[in-house]
Structure formats: C-alpha cells, structure tokens
C-alpha cells in the first residue's frame, strides 16, 4: 500500500508515506503544505491552529508562492564559486579543530571540540559573521542546539539564545547594508540595491538568515558524530571512506537518514497512487524508510560505502529540498577523511551503549562522544 493510515497523537487519522516512490510523490506535490500551523503534529499532541503561523522570511515553513519568493533569492547564492571558496575555508577550519581536538589530549569529546564548532563556523562563513563576533554567535548557536551552555531541553536558555541570535541577525543585515562583503546576507541586501528582486524587509532577511542557521547547524553536527560512530565500527569502513569519500558520504547520508521524517498537510483533496488524501489530512513523510526501501536499494539495511546511494532522500525532495546540501556534502567530505587521517587509531573511549543519544524523532544525534587515540 503506497500510503498507510496512521492515528496521530491528537486522534486525527492521517497517513504515513514510507516507500521511496510515494515519499517522492508527496514531496513533489504542491497540493501538500509544509506549514506547522496547518498540521496535526505527529510528534506531539498539537492540532491545526495550535502552532502560530510562521513569521515572514522563515521560508522553511512557508508554501509557494511565499516560499518561492524567499528561496529564489537564496538559490542563486549557493554558487559553484561560493562553494569552492567555502571549501577552502572549511579545509582550514577543519584542520584547526583537529589541532584543537589533539590539544585536548586523549580522551576528548568529539562533539564539543569538532562536530559542534565546525558547522557553526561554516555558517559564520556563509552568512559573513565578522571574526570578532564569532565567539558570541557560536555560544548562542550551541545553546540553541543544546550542544553546550544549556542542558538539552532547557527551554528558557534556548529561547533566550534564539532571541539574541535574532537580534544579532538583524544587526548583521544593517551592517551589511552599510558595508557589504562577499557573503549570503550581503547578497540579499545587494539584490535590493541592484533591483534584482522585490524589496524584502530587514526582518524578513534576518528570518532567512535564521532559517539557514537552523537548517545548517544541528544537522551537520549530528551527521558528523553519527557518521563517525558508524565508521568506527569497522576499520574497513574507514578505508572505504578514505578511498572514495564521495560514495561513502552519500551512503552514510542514506543509511543514517538524520531527519527520519518530515510532515505535510493536504491543502486540497490530493490523490497519491490511488489513495485520496482529503483536504486537511496530515501525512508523516518517512524519509528514513524511503531510504531503506528494498525496491530502491539492494540490501538496504547494509551500510555499503561503495554503493554511492544515488537518489537517496536524506535531503528531502521537491521545493523544500535542502538548500544547504552541497555545503553539507563538502563539509562531510572534508571532515571524515580529515579526522581519520589525523587520528588513524581513533576509537570510542566508552562503550557504545553509554553514549548519550539525543531523544528526538526530528533529528537524531549524540550529546557527547568521548573518543580516544594513541
Ligand atoms: C531543508 C536535511 C544541512 C539548510 C532540509 C530538508 C532536509 C534536510 C531533509 C527538507 C525538510 C522538509 O522537506 O521538510 C539536511 C541534512 C543536512 C543538512 C541531513 C546535513 C547533513 C544543511 C545545511 C544548511 C541547511 C548545511 C544551511 C547551510 C536547510 C534549509 C532547508 C533545508 C534552509 C529548508 C529549505 C526550504 O524550505 O526551501 N534539510 N540538511 N541544511 N535545509 Fe538542510
């Protein structure tokens, strides 16, 4: 059955999409909405209307045409040229943090000293956060993701960090207006000046910056820790990563499926492979199951780092497909080989079942990952 019925926590009988073809079909169909305020929340008891409408500019939560208006201003900025420049910076940032990890001495926490700060600095590079403000930006970003400074789930500290980051982002927009540089926020501001887009407010631009921050931090951080965990299980896996990082990273993305599911709600009656999803029905779209669909991947539960995993859905599909995927790939392809070249004898410093896992259905990950080396 392409779609299976599912009872949501608020009692709504909606749907699950779980095979590769159906997940793609739902995500490609603009009859489905991503708006949190329309959905029956599958991860909590929320019903439509419980979540407030997302603010202008927070494009990850908007449907077309609003979403298109914002996203089209950003897609042109993830250019080959900018990605190449970022790759050069990432090489440096990665090497610096491997030094920092080494300086801690064995054992040390890979999450705190590597998996959290590197993606944070990558976002700083992308947005053009000035060097002298990076420490405070990083601290708040870490608090926001529960990485440091606040115990995971300490809502007040996270909310305060979110508000500070919002103010910071607004300040940055104003600063880029006054003195643009070569970064995403400057290009957003510049597109107004050159008339290449309709006017966006400062609040909208700041919200777009926050969306990039929100999308780019937790994901890459947890992919780094969980990916390392998978590689550490078998020396042959490390060799496979060093031999062909392109293929190995794609397969890790498929196998781990860091965002196991996303959610859509029908804006109208929509037919998916003979099943009619009624207007207002919510669909849990299971990216993780789709990535383990045996009709798409032979032996899907086997991590085969040489397979390449073309067509996986770890970055989603359709209009909301991950805007940062090229950057994420670059980072993972630099970070994993960098880590294992620098620490060939890397190993876990505690038994695996003592690793604190993040209790989240939205994004998996590790709170800490003590590693040792000789
Ligand atoms: C969207 C995964 C890295 C920014 C998405 C979606 C997924 C995803 C599954 C689609 C969500 C949906 O359809 O509901 C990942 C993974 C990453 C990663 C697994 C790392 C391994 C990044 C990075 C950035 C980023 C580095 C920023 C530079 C975004 C944004 C969206 C998005 C802004 C929303 C796009 C839109 O709504 O148009 N990501 N992501 N992501 N991602 Fe990523």
Higher pLDDT, 372 or 217: 372
Q: How confident is the model at residue 164 (pLDDT cuts 50, 70, 90)?
A: very high
**Residue 258, ligand 1, Cβ within 6 A:** yes
Q: For all residues of the chain together, what is the average pLDDT?
A: 92
**Residue 323, ligand 1, Cβ within 6 A:** yes
- The pTM of this model reads 0.95
Distance CA 111, CA 221 (A): 8
**Is the pLDDT confidence value at 217 over 90?**
no
At residue 371, the pLDDT reads: 98
Give me the residue label for tokens 């859509």. 264
**Residue 214, ligand 1, Cβ within 6 A:** no
**Residue 262, ligand 1, Cβ within 6 A:** yes
CA angle, residues 350, 355, 360, in degrees to nearest 5: 175
Distance CA 146, CA 125 (A): 22
Higher pLDDT, 250 or 80: 250
**Residue 35, ligand 1, Cβ within 6 A:** no
Q: Which of 125, 33, 63, 107 is nearest to 330 (CA)?
A: 125
Ligand 1 binding pocket mutation candidate from 121, 325, 327, 335 (most atoms within 8 A of CB): 325
The DSSP secondary-structure symbol of 113 reads I
**Residue 324, ligand 1, Cβ within 6 A:** yes
Question: How confident is the model over 200-217, as a mean pLDDT?
Answer: 92
At residue 337, the pLDDT reads: 98
In this structure, which residue's CA is closest to atom 15 in ligand 1? 315
Tokens describing residue 189: 């501001």
Ligand 1 binding pocket mutation candidate from 315, 329, 331, 332 (most atoms within 8 A of CB): 315
Condensed to tens digits (0 to 9), the pLDDT of residues 51-72 reads 999 999 999 999 999 999 999 9
ipTM of the complex: 0.99
Distance 167 CA to ligand 1 centre (A): 23
At residue 149, the pLDDT reads: 42
């Amino acid at each position: 059955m392409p779609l299976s019925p599912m009872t949501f926590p608020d009692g709504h009988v909606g749907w699950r999409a779980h095979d590769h073809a159906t997940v793609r079909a739902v995500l490609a169909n603009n009859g489905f909405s991503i708006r949190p305020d329309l959905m029956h929340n599958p991860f909590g008891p929320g019903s439509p209307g419980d979540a407030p409408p997302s603010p202008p500019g927070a494009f990850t939560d908007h449907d077309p045409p609003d979403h298109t208006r914002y996203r089209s201003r950003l897609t042109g900025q993830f250019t080959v040229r900018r990605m190449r420049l970022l790759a050069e910076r990432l090489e440096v940032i990665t090497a610096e943090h491997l030094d920092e990890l080494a300086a801690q001495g064995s054992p040390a926490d890979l999450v705190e000293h590597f998996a959290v700060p590197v993606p944070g600095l990558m976002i700083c590079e992308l947005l053009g956060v000035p060097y002298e403000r990076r420490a405070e930006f990083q601290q708040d970003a870490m608090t926001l993701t529960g990485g440091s400074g606040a115990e995971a789930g300490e809502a007040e500290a996270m909310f305060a960090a979110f508000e500070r980051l919002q103010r910071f982002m607004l300040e940055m927009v104003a600063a880029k207006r006054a003195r643009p540089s070569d970064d995403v926020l400057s290009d957003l501001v510049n597109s107004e000046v050159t008339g290449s887009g309709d006017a966006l407010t400062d609040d909208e631009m700041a919200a777009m910056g926050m969306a990039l921050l929100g999308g780019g931090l937790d994901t890459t951080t947890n992919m780094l820790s969980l990916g390392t965990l998978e590689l550490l299980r078998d020396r042959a896996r490390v060799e496979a990563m060093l031999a062909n990082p392109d293929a190995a990273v794609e397969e890790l993305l498929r196998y781990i499926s860091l965002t196991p599911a996303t959610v859509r709600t029908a804006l109208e009656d929509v037919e998916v492979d003979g099943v009619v999803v009624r207007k207002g029905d919510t669909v849990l779209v299971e990216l993780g199951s789709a990535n383990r669909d045996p009709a798409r991947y032979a032996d899907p539960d086997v991590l085969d780092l040489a397979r390449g995993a073309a067509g996986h859905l770890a970055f989603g599909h359709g209009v909301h497909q991950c805007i940062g995927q090229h950057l994420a790939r670059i980072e993972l392809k630099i970070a994993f080989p960098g880590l294992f070249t620098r620490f060939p004898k890397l190993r876990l410093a505690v038994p695996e079942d003592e690793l604190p896992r993040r209790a989240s259905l939205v994004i998996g990950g590790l709170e800490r990952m003590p590693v040792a080396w000789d």
